[in-house]
Each structure stands twice: as structure tokens, then as C-alpha cells.
Structure 1
Amino acid sequence: MKRSSEPRRTSAVSIQHGDEALAARLRTLLGGRHPVAAAATISPGERRVAGLGADAGADFEIGSVSKGVTGLLYAEALARGEIDRTATLGDLLPLGRCPAARVTLASLSVHRSGLPILPRSAGLVRRSVALWRHGANPYGDSLDQLIVQARSVTVGKPRPRYSNLGFELLGHAIAAAAGVSYRELVRARIADPLGLDVFYAPAIPAELRPGALTGVSRFGRERQPWTGEAVGPAGGIRASIEAMARLIAALLDGSAPGLSALDPTTRFAGVAGRAVDIGAGWITLEHEGRKITWHNGGTGGFRSWLGLDRAAGAGVVIVTATAMAVDGPGFTLLTETAGRNASRAAAELTAETDRR
């Protein structure tokens, strides 16, 4: 396969693909602020995919939606018996006797490990400045560098605390248990079995596909791709909209691995009086009277949102090559998709009743 270290530049060109009605709705929901974006909606008997500003084969950074993928891989590793709920990072990664070695994978999967968001030794201030001034990638570390950073981390009390570091370590520990790299684990257990042709975790820019997009800040400034071996499990996966649509379908029809990751097991937070629960990486909350399982993502130049209304059998994903949140449009589109499904089911029931 041909590889390219230069992602394709995005522009507000008049490219549109897929379902015309969905493309029009996406354009309305995003309000013209996202010239390059795509969406997919899945419900019983209906699959719609559409994109704006790029072709169907373009791949986007999905950011922290990668954590949801790592959650699936964690649950699958449990099911295979490769790990158990008492497994620690030190059992699987060369951390020596540092405090992080005693952290359990189970606590990492629900963001209750006591690990910080990121290690101080990673030079966060310097990297942040480089990102905002020059669009530089702040997450280009190798796995060896991640291990060195983890050895110096102070572990706090096990309370709910979102941790990129935690999910980086979780993903690499799961991969170590399987005897492969994280990138290989994604391919072998998610991408290949589900037929996700464009779904991968590039460790270096040279591993980007020819269809890789370049994201931009909310002000239109280009950002370097967030490639990095270390960050893969927490935010390093790239995917096309077609691949994301197939992933949603697999999550809904039960063919995806590690489905127990979607089931909430722990209270994560309370937001505006609403309970927020978490499974293995996946958030569950009530929205307009429906239980929604979801995760969002953000990198220097991309945003993403994936949500499931499992009771209605409906799912939605939105990805965009502009660093502006799409959570609101995501929840709205999922509500509309689940509502159409409910209306269609009611109409079918009425028709069946009339025939009788």
C-alpha cells in the first residue's frame, strides 16, 4: 500500500458524497463552520452515510473515541481470558516497582485509577505552546518514552478522573497481554473482523494513508497530524466515515467484540443534575428521556462524536476536520434518528393491526 507523510489539505470545496438528505441536515446542524465533515446514521432497516468537502475514502482523526475502541478491546481481552480484573500494569508492562505498576486495568477502564490526565514529565507546557503557536503534534511519543514517563508518575486516590495517560497505558497493556502492538491489536480484533478498510492507529507520519486529511483549528490554521505510538489507545486512531458506520452497525447488531464495554458499571459524574455512568471507556447518560451511550473526541484539528440509543437500535457518528465541538449536533441527530425509527415502527404496527 502506498504511504504518504503529507496529509491531504482540506478546503471548502463543493465536494459532497452519500445520502443527499443527510448531507443537507449535516450542513444545517454544523452551520457552515465545518467545511470538511461527514456523518453516518444507523437504525433498523436504514443506513445513511454522507460527507462534505472530501470524498468517502478520506480518513479523519477520531480523537478520544479511540478510548471507546480500547474499552472494547479491554472487554474482549477479559472474555478471552488473556487478563482478569485483578491484572495490574506492572503485570504486563516493564514499569518496575513504581506506583503506577500497582494500578489495575479495571480501574483504568473506568477512569478511577488515580493517574493524572497526563504526566508532568512529558513537558506539557512546552508542547501546548508548540501546538497553539505552530500547530505541532504534542503526542508523538513512542511506547518506550511512555513507559519512562509512567515510572515517574505520582498515583493519587482512586476517584473519577479522566486520564489520557491511563488509557494509553491500558491499551498497551492489553496489547502486551495478546503479544502484539496496539496497532496490530486494532487491526486483528476490530478492523479486519468487521471489514473496516480505513481504521488504523499510525505511529509516525509516514504511516498515514494517501486519503488522510489535514485538520485545522477553529480559526482555520492547519494542524500537524496527531500520530504517535503512545497515544494510539487514548486518541490516535484514524478512520473513514464508512468504517465508522460499519463500527456502529456492529455495536448495534452485536457482532463487535467486547460489547460488555458499553454497559455502565460505575458512577462517573453528575452533570446539571444528571447522572453520568461509565462502562469500559463508554459514557452513559439520559438525554430527552433516552439512555445514550457515547464518546466524543478532539485533536488539534479534528472533532468527533459517536452515540448509541441501544434501546431504539439507533446510532450516529459525526467527524469533522475542524477543531470545533460537534456534541450538540451529534445528540440532535441521534434523537432524530431514533425518533424516525420509533415512528416507522409505530406505522408498521398500525398497518399490521389493520391487516388483522
Structure 2
Amino acid sequence: MFMMFKKYWQNTHSKFLLLCLASILMSFQNSVQAQSEFHQLAKETIEKFPVETEFAIGMIINGKKRFIGFRKTPHGLEQVRNETDVYQIGSITKVMTASILASIANKGKIDLNMDTSQIYDTLYNHKITLKSLANHTSGLNRLPANFAESAIKNQSNPYMNYGQKEFYEFLNSNFELNNKEYNYSNLGYGLLGHSLEKVTEKSYEELLQEEIAKPLSMNQTTSNPSKAQNRVKALDAEGYVTAFWTFDAFKGVGGVLSSTSDMLKFLYATTQKSHNGINLSLKETHQISERQAIGLGWHILNTKSGNRWYWQNGAVGGFTSCLVTNPESGNAVVVLSNVSAYHPDMQYIDKLCFDSMQKIEKMIKK
């Protein structure tokens, strides 16, 4: 009787081991397939851009992190380890700013529905809440009316000359709001970032470090360019080295620098629900259209395949970036590049990001 049981147990155990091995092999093959397809997509995309273009790409596949880096040289493409190199992330900064707001609100130190008239006396005629700034429904224009005057002084670094003085001149002016529908607004995020500084009596950099970077061990993330190590060269549309954009009054709009390694830590927090502020920022706050919505900073896309993707992109003079995450599937992609916002093919960075995410999601479902 014992021998029969032993033989049965051995057979069952062997079958179980074979099933486990098959599962591991399939998972490995899927990972290799995804890596290969991702490489091909990246190579096809980077060929559109000038020599010295770099891509730093990160992906989370079913909870596991992967990094890929490419640099275009005069002699062809090089695969490089650049996940800790630092890029300016442009408007992905807005997701950081919204996450700072959500983190402070989650601690009960600020109310998402706080009216900005409680912060600025001159805004008493306008019903603008912090939440409406974070989801682009405040009614504010994309940029302040007096921005062009400052931007024209340095067209290669348009935010550099728009400081606190110019910002308060606008806030004190007799401006009007549009309707309260979705209207993407850099002005709104400039006001949000500055409001957070005033309410907390801390600088944007202090808030970024305390609420986001330090809790997630994002050691290469900063809004202070002088603190950033291993910075990638910013390129203009022709491929010549250009300046990093500098932000004064509008740091909360596009002033953050980061690496792919750090951005995957941020995206991993969205999939693990490990940061209460980020969790709150992902909650839908406004329906834009049948398939699109917005949380706090995060744009939300309901895909045709039934997935719900949270995304944001960024574009400044010397850099273009994109990230997308699916908290339910545990998959995410980030693409950081030194492709100029003024390059005619810059939209292919978004395409690379979304096409890669689509391939990963399809592969995981198989």
C-alpha cells in the first residue's frame, strides 16, 4: 500500500514539476519575445531622429522591470545602459505635481476643493479649486496673457524669463475664465504648483522630495538642474546641443528631471498601490469623452481591448517623453528621449510608448 502511494506521489510530483517548468519556460519565452519586439520598435523609431539621439526605455511586464537603452551614433545604433541617466521630463512633471497635491490631501493637510481665493486675495471673483487645476477644468487658458512677451525674449528657453513678478501681474489683472470643461492648461499647473508652495510654506523642490522622491527612493529626480547628475545632452530639432528649459514661476508645469530607473519606481507604485497620494491621483475626477477621462494629472484612456490606461507625455526644447501604466494588469512603459519638442516627428515617441504597451498587454493575455 505504501509503495503504491509512493509511486502515485512520485508521478503526481513529477507532473507538477513539469507543469511548473513549462510555465516558467513560457514566461521566459514571453519575456524574450517582448524584449525583442520592443527592441525592434525602438530601433525603427530612433532612426527618424538626428545623430546623438538617445532613448532610455523602461517597462514593467507583469510586475517585473526591464530596461532598454539606445544611442544613435555616426556609425549606427548602440545599445547602452542609460537607465540612470537624467532627462528633462517636461509635462510628465504635471503628474508629479498632482501626486504632491494628492499626497498632502491624503494626509489631511489640504482640501482638494480648496478655493484659490483662500490663497490669493485677487482671485475672489473666480471659482477655481485646487482639484480643477489638477484636472484641467478650471477654465484657465493654456498660458497667461502676458506669457508671449516674456517668451519672445528667449525662444529657445521660453519659460526662463517668466518669473514671480510676471505671474503676479497676470493674477492681478482682469482676466476671464472659459467654461469649466476640460481645457489643458499650463497656466493652471503653474498656479497649482505655486499654490502648494504658499499653503505649505515649502519650495516645490522640498515638496517633490518629501512627498514623492524620497518615499519612493527616486534618487535622480529633482526640479533643480544643478543637482542632477549624468544629464543627457538636450538636442534641438536639427540635432545640435541646446539648453535645458528653466522654469521659475512654472516649476510645477515642466521643471522636473528624472531617469528611467526612477520613473519605473514611480510607475511601479501605481501598479502596487503602495503610495497613498499616487493612489488618490489615479481616481477619475472628470469625464472628457466616451473613452477618455482624467484623474489628478493622469489622463485615462479606455482602450478598445477593454484596458484602462493612465498616461501623460512631455515635450520641451531638448526632450520628449511619454509614460503609460495599467494598475490592474501590473504593466507599464516609460520612454525618455532627447528628441526636441520642435522635431517634426516627435509624436513618434508617444507612438513608441503606446505601441509597446499594447504589445505587452496582448502578450500577457495569451
**TM-score range with shorter-chain normalisation?**
0.7 to 0.9
Residue 27 in structure 1 maps to residue 42 in structure 2: yes
1:90-146 Cα shifts (integer Å, max 9, x gaps): 323xx3324676421121111111111111112x16625842xxx334345334542
Counterparts of 1:275 and 1:208, CA distance in 2: 40
Corresponding residue number in structure 2 for 1:156: 178
- Give the superposition deviation at 1:150: 2.5
Q: Secondary structure at the match of 2:90?
A: coil
TM-score by length of 1: 0.80
Counterparts of 2:194 and 2:268, CA distance in 1: 26
Corresponding residue number in structure 1 for 2:61: 43
| Gap change, CA 1:177 and 1:99, over 3 Å in 2 | closer
TM-score by length of 2: 0.78
Corresponding residue number in structure 2 for 1:303: 320
- Give the superposition deviation at 1:281: 1.2
Gaps of 5+ in 2: 1-33, 72-79, 341-345
1:280 corresponds to which of 285, 289, 296 = 296
| Gap change, CA 1:20 and 1:307, over 3 Å in 2 | closer
| Gap change, CA 1:141 and 1:208, over 3 Å in 2 | farther
Q: Quick one: which amino acid aligns to residue 308 of structure 1?
A: T
1:250-291 Cα shifts (integer Å, max 9, x gaps): 1111123411211222122x4xxx531111111111223122
Q: Quick one: which amino acid aligns to residue 40 of structure 2?
A: R
1:16-48 Cα shifts (integer Å, max 9, x gaps): xxx974872353351413421111001334210
Q: Secondary structure at the match of 1:214?
A: coil
Larger radius of gyration: 2
Q: Secondary structure at the match of 2:58?
A: strand
1:57-93 Cα shifts (integer Å, max 9, x gaps): 321111111111111112222211122133122323x
| Gap change, CA 1:29 and 1:231, over 3 Å in 2 | farther
Corresponding residue number in structure 2 for 1:87: 114
Counterparts of 2:259 and 2:301, CA distance in 1: 27
Q: Secondary structure at the match of 2:336?
A: strand
1:73–1:257 Cα contact (<8 Å) kept: no
Moved more, 257-266 or 61-70: 257-266
Residue 218 in structure 1 maps to residue 273 in structure 2: no
Corresponding residue number in structure 2 for 1:321: 338
1:118–1:164 Cα contact (<8 Å) kept: yes
- Give the superposition deviation at 1:211: 1.7
1:330 corresponds to which of 341, 348, 353 = 353
Moved more, 80-89 or 181-190: 80-89
Gaps of 5+ in 1: 1-18, 344-356
2:150–2:158 Cα contact (<8 Å) kept: no
1:61 corresponds to which of 69, 72, 88 = 88
Counterparts of 1:221 and 1:339, CA distance in 2: 38
Q: Secondary structure at the match of 1:120?
A: coil
1:174 corresponds to which of 171, 196, 218 = 196
Corresponding residue number in structure 2 for 1:263: 283
Moved more, 218-227 or 235-244: 218-227
Q: Secondary structure at the match of 2:265?
A: helix
1:199 corresponds to which of 218, 221, 244 = 221
1:215–1:321 Cα contact (<8 Å) kept: yes
What RMSD over aligned residues (CA atoms) do the two structures have, in Å?
2.4
- Give the superposition deviation at 1:329: 0.9
Q: Secondary structure at the match of 2:215?
A: helix
Aligned residues: 312
